[in-house]
Structure 1
Amino acid sequence: GVSGGRVDFPIPIEVNKRLISGQYDLIVSIGQVVPHEVVGMANYSKNIFVGCGGKEIIDKSHFLGAVYGLERLMGRDHSPVRKVFDYGEEQFLSDIPLQYILTVVATGQGAPASTPAAAGAGVDAGVDADVDAAAVATAPRICGLYAGRERQLFEAAVRLSQARNLCLLDAPLKKVVVYLDPEEFKSTWLGNKAIYRTRMAIADGGELLIIAPGLKHFGEDDLIDALIRKYGYAGTDKVLEWVETEDDLRNCLSAAAHLIHGSSEGRFKITYAPGHVSAAEIEQVHFNYAPLDDMLRRYDPQQLRDGFNTMPDGEQIFYVSNPALGLWALRDNF
């Protein structure tokens, strides 16, 4: 099957009944094509089957992507989850009056890039040499617009997004520091984007430090928060075992998928420096803890530039000011 033998459940194709009711002359789905941790590349039919889908298809598609392996699918088109969505559209939605408007947004975080310059320069974002990469990263702009129903339009958008939204590096990174805006990231459910988007660039035995001044809880709702606190980010094998034996996690596969996504599988160290969560709580979910004030003094977001930075004591880090703006990976893998 599409999971490579990791799961054996059926996935029902569920969408909001209004889409197939016949009451609309035209249904327009609008969204951005960008690397995505569940399906590989966001949008197109994902907008329908997740954005307008039922709980079971959402939960099971997320779990399918997680057990297949985030690092195998992110930034790529033909993932197992995308194959499920393609099948659903071809078999069940071909007759509805659906059209897509797909955008690709360029930011300074994407494009080719990155070996450290002698002075610790920022990422070469494929822009003019006299333009600051960090400044460009704050000014996203639409660089592609695709309208229609044919899959080839999505494929063209994927190719452009891969060119504009992937930051490809020549060598793995030993230490990555990610800053999470406190107004946007208040949970690890959202904040773990720092892990998803950088993990493909981190060296075995490396470290990811996540500076999260706004972090207050783990889940975005009480149920998910309780499940994360109970099980923690323990890795794929443990989560698969718990899904087989524990009813609460088996009945919330989106939470199980999140727990898999948030683990480095023992490959690199993940350290959180949270604003409102204790060291004991962080360590309970299998992350390492660092004091926020100490990390902000050492890695001042106001002083760092996106990309390579050399600290006063000679430590070299790779800094990411907003993990939502791209995907960082090794050039050889693409």
Structure 2
Amino acid sequence: MENLFLKANPGEFLTTKEKEELIERFVSSISKDVKKILLLPPDSTRKHAGIGELIRILYSKLPDKQIEIMPALGTHSPMSTEQLIDMFGEKIPLDRYLVHNWREDTVTVGVIPGAYVSEVSEGIVTEDIEVKINYRLVSGEYDLIISVGQVLPHAVIGMSNYSKNIFVGCGGEEMINQSHFIGGAYGLERFLGQDHSPVRKLFDYGEERLLKDIPLTYILTANTLDIQADTGITGMLGIFIGKERGIFEEALKLSQENNITYLEKPLKKVVVYLGAKFKSTWLANKAIYRTRMALADGGQLIIIAPGLKEFGEDKGIDSIIRKYGYSGKEATLIALENNEDLQEYRSAVGHLIRGSSDGRFEVTYACKQLSQEEIEGVNYNYMPLDEALVTYKPEKLTYGYNTLDNGEEVFFIDNPTTGLWIYEG
């Protein structure tokens, strides 16, 4: 199959017709010998990327193929019937969907040697990493596997997607735990928004050596927030189809150009409004990751999260977050050395590190379904949701700098999902 690229004109987004035409070109290049295809899209937590539309188009253009769809859940909760229909439409039969279980559905495809792990992680992890992925990918039952997802700033790997969708989205416990831990302990300020992070190097190793016999193709997109849109779906700037790393690099460059904002001065107060889909701090803490390099020392981050009801998407991880809280890198690493439960949940250790400001700025969650005691129990400040909605009136704020009725200046972000904000100094 040939590599296929499509970019929108400057200042524009790809239209549905343009997406359909590119998918038709891709479908026409698929061998007639291909009978059974597995699609690996993101789950509903990435609905904003508009991948649901691409899956609908792919499904409609392949009527003579047997199609199955397995959302790349990683550690996230399985999608409900309502979420599947909402994201992928009503025309795809529900029996076409599969569920990935990161604890039970994986098989070993190889090992990344400890010496290499130690080299790229600067000694944070020195042991071998056993690499497991969903058994369906190596079962031989699929003639083609298509991984679909967007490339954007990511707090574990620098820039998301490509083989991350396989090793984490469809991956097993050890790789998920170790990659998240390395990303946290290494320090996301050192790689967020960049290529060639320690975790990306691990995935590149696995891509080159462990996935070469899998009939795998990637469809990668670059998106950016459409300020005028009221659909919750971001605008698609480009689509890149192929297997080689070059397609990822093209998508990465386009995403960097459109999603990283450099600021001339640090921000003293940031207000982030999250939609109802952000039900856990595991997801909602994107508001922290994406703004921390823009926040001033002593600054404030107010996260208005009406949908927040838990800390972890996984019950075990939720209990770990409640037990140890967001206590800062040093305290969390000390706790790791002395507690066996943290050894088991290393992915949560990385999350706890990333979710703490290390005392540099304050984080306040405004929510309703989690109590003040629960929020303060994990070392965040608490504000009642109703109070936050009255004080900040997010429906009246616009992206960027705003002056409140009391004369206070705040920087408002309605959707932090695609962006990354960095103080130039």
TM-score tier, shorter chain, comes to: 0.7 to 0.9
Structure-1 separation of matches of 2:231 and 2:288: 19
Residue in 1 that maps onto 2:83: none
Go from structure 1 to structure 2 and tell me whether the alpha carbon gap of 1:276 and 1:27 turns closer, same or farther (over 3 Å shift).
Answer: closer
Identify which range, 72-81 or 134-143, moves more after superposition: 134-143
- Which residue number in structure 2 is paired with residue 152 of structure 1? 246
Partner Cα separation in structure 1 for residue 144 and residue 309 of structure 2: 42
The answer (yes or no) to whether the contact 1:107–1:138 under 8 Å persists in 2 is: no
What is the Cα deviation at residue 265 of structure 1? 1.3
Instruction: Describe the superposition over 1:73-116 as per-residue Cα deviations: whole angstroms up to 9, x where unpaired.
Output: 211111000000000111222232221111111324xxxxxxxx
Residue in 2 that maps onto 1:107? 225
Give the CA deviation at 1:134: 5.2
In structure 2, the residue matched to 1:5 is 123
Q: Say whether residues 1:31 and 2:149 are aligned partners.
A: yes
The list of structure 1 runs, each at least 4 consecutive aligned residues, that deviate by more than 6 angstroms after superposition, is none
Seen in structure 2, the aligned counterparts of structure 1 residues 281 and 23 have a Cα distance that, compared at 3 Å, is closer
Where 1:15 maps in the other structure, the secondary structure is strand
- The reply on whether 1:70 has 2:161 as its aligned counterpart is no
Q: Per-residue CA shift, 1:206-230, capped at 9, x if unaligned?
A: 1101112222222223322221111
Are residue 49 (structure 1) and residue 167 (structure 2) matched?
yes
Q: Deviations over 1:53-85 (max 9, x none)?
A: 111111111111111112222111110000000
Equivalent residue letter for 2:125: V
Task: Give me the TM-score of the superposition, normalised by structure 2.
Answer: 0.69
CA distance in 2, matches of 1:50, 1:293: 37
The answer as to whether partners of 1:210 and 1:273 remain within 8 angstroms in 2 is yes
By how many angstroms is 1:330 displaced?
A: 2.7
Superposed CA RMSD: 1.8
Give, in angstroms, the shift of residue 135 of structure 1: 4.8
Distance 1:323 1:100, change over 3 A: same
* Higher RCO (CA < 8 A, seq sep 6+): 1
Report the counterpart of residue 206 of structure 2 in structure 1: 88
Q: 1:263 to 1:319 in 2, by over 3 A?
A: same
Counterpart AA for 1:14: K
Counterparts of 1:223-234 in structure 2, within 5 Å, are 223-234=316-327
Once residues 313 and 232 of structure 2 are traced to their aligned partners in structure 1, the CA distance between those partners, rounded to angstroms, is 26
Equivalent in the alignment of 1:129: none
Q: What do residues 2-59 of structure 1 show as CA deviations (whole Å, max 9, x unaligned)?
A: 1122332322222223323334332211111111111111111111111221111111
Q: Which amino acid is the alignment partner of residue 13 of structure 1?
A: V
Is 2:223–2:418's contact at 8 Å kept on the other side of the alignment?
A: no
Task: Report the equivalent of 1:79.
Answer: 197
| Cα distance between partner residues in 1 of 2:231 and 2:264 | 21
The aligned residue for residue 180 of structure 1 is 274
Change beyond 3 A, Cα 1:106–1:211:
closer
1:170 matches 2:288: no
SS at match of 1:14: strand
Kept after mapping to 2: 8 A contact 1:134/1:306: no
For the Cα contact (< 8 Å) 2:153–2:418, is it kept in 1?
Answer: no
Any unmatched runs of 5+ in structure 1? Answer: 109-132
285-294 vs 303-312, greater mean Cα deviation: 285-294
Partner of 1:98: 216
- Structure 2: runs of 5+ lacking an equivalent: 1-118
Question: How many positions carry a matched residue from both structures?
Answer: 307
Give matches, 1:271-310, under 5 Å: 271-310=364-403
